[in-house]
Amino acid sequence: MQNLGAKLKMQKYTRRTINRFSLAAIGSLIFKSIPATGQRRSTLKPIPVILDTDIGDDIDDTWALMMLLRSPRVATKLITTDFGNTKYRTRLLAKLLQKIDSANVPIGLGLDPSDKPGNQSEWLGDYQLGNYQGAIYEDGVEALIETIKSSSERVTLLCIGPATNIAEALRRDPSIAENARFVGMHGSIKRGYDGEEGPAKEWNVKVDPKSLQKVFDAPWECTIAPLDTCGLIKLKGKRYQKIFNNNDPWIRALIDNYKAWLPKADWLEPKPNFNTASSTLFDTLAVHLTYSEKFLVMEDLRIRVTDEGYTVLDEKNGRVVRCALGWEDQSAFEDELVRILTNRLG
């Protein structure tokens, strides 16, 4: 094991060099050496999670990242960046992790490693991957595959962006479905954005429906947070002030990113007041679903993904997907979200 450790260490992105990693080494070392990050002790064994994220477009990925890393119920084993422009996304992710002393979490670049300016570039500045003190793998899809296959426990694959990386991982190695479950922020069943009646083409599905079709075709358990529930999550009033006025370094990094991002969010109408409310925090519900269904009305529904990007009910041709279709207590969820983000659990 000592030789394996040395071998993997040589394959990291270090502060001076960027290299490919050893597939033989990554899995065993990740699961033995990476502890849960930013977490209080829990009586329950943390669930191993891989996060796949298109961080850097909508700010909810950044909120979800902080929630995931601070939840005592999960242990983050790898984070992969998704849906194009992945060098920009990886630079942003690396800087965030380093800011919050979480550089022990490995990162994998997704497909299309371009580096164009994004909605959080103002906060990112000229931060480069060579500055990251942890491991960054050039082929994030291979890292994802090997992490799943090397785990002694079933891995929860948490996807909060389009399912592009996940579909490619299944294409390369369909056997990953034997040791993983899929949890995603995807779709719209009966309600659309902002609670509008009727289904909508939800962004993560609309931009790459064929990838989610492949994910739903795989023989693993699938759970989704659709717009029906996640599209209603916003922090305001006292809840938001507990975040906004908090001087914790994690929270300051989060709020600074929100401030840099908000002027770029041209699609928001009306825009939230930065001083009093968050934008919609879609992805935080998917984080919650990695370890709990509390606060929610869950239903097993037969869902089919259309080529146009709808997630439709189809009793004949759909596959069973566990869906967070309604709220039992949204206020209690938002209270818990604030406690996790401010590290007040336990």
**What is the token pair recorded at 161?**
């962006």
pLDDT digits (tens, 9 = 90+) for 260-309: 999 999 999 999 999 999 999 999 999 999 999 999 999 999 999 999 99
Q: Give the pLDDT band (50/70/90) at residue 17.
A: very low
- Percentage of the residues of the chain whose pLDDT score is greater than 90: 86
> What per-residue confidence (pLDDT) applies to 344?
86
> What per-residue confidence (pLDDT) applies to 38?
43
pLDDT digits (tens, 9 = 90+) for 162-215: 999 999 999 999 999 999 999 999 999 999 999 999 999 999 999 999 999 999
Q: How far is CA 346 from the centre of its chain?
A: 23
Q: Is the predicted pLDDT of residue 40 greater than 60, yes or no?
A: no
| Pairwise CA distance, residues 290 & 69, whole Å | 12
| Pairwise CA distance, residues 87 & 127, whole Å | 11
pLDDT digits (tens, 9 = 90+) for 70-82: 999 999 999 999 9
CB 243 within 8 A of CB 257: no
Q: Is the predicted pLDDT of residue 256 greater than 60, yes or no?
A: yes
Helix axes 60-70, 249-261, angle to 10 degrees: 170
The CATH number of 2-341, from 1.10.357.10, 3.30.70.1070, 3.90.245.10, 3.40.50.2300, is 3.90.245.10
| Pairwise CA distance, residues 344 & 346, whole Å | 7
| Pairwise CA distance, residues 145 & 299, whole Å | 29
Q: How far is CA 198 from the centre of its chain?
A: 26
- Percentage of the residues of the chain whose pLDDT score is greater than 70: 87
> What per-residue confidence (pLDDT) applies to 31?
43
| Pairwise CA distance, residues 134 & 101, whole Å | 10
Q: Give the pLDDT band (50/70/90) at residue 4.
A: very low
Choose between 17 and 116: higher pLDDT: 116
Q: Give the pLDDT band (50/70/90) at residue 318.
A: very high
CB-CB neighbours of 299 under 10 Å = 12
| Pairwise CA distance, residues 174 & 67, whole Å | 30
pLDDT digits (tens, 9 = 90+) for 132-163: 999 999 999 999 999 999 999 999 999 999 99
Q: Is the predicted pLDDT of residue 43 greater than 80, yes or no?
A: no
Q: How far is CA 214 from the centre of its chain?
A: 19
Provide the β-strand partners of residue 183: 158, 223
The per-residue DSSP string of 217-260 comes to: HSSS-EEE--HHHHTT---BHHHHHHHHT---HHHHHHHHHHHH
> What per-residue confidence (pLDDT) applies to 345?
75
Q: 206 to each of 187, 210, 307, 318, how far by Cα in Å?
A: 9, 9, 8, 18
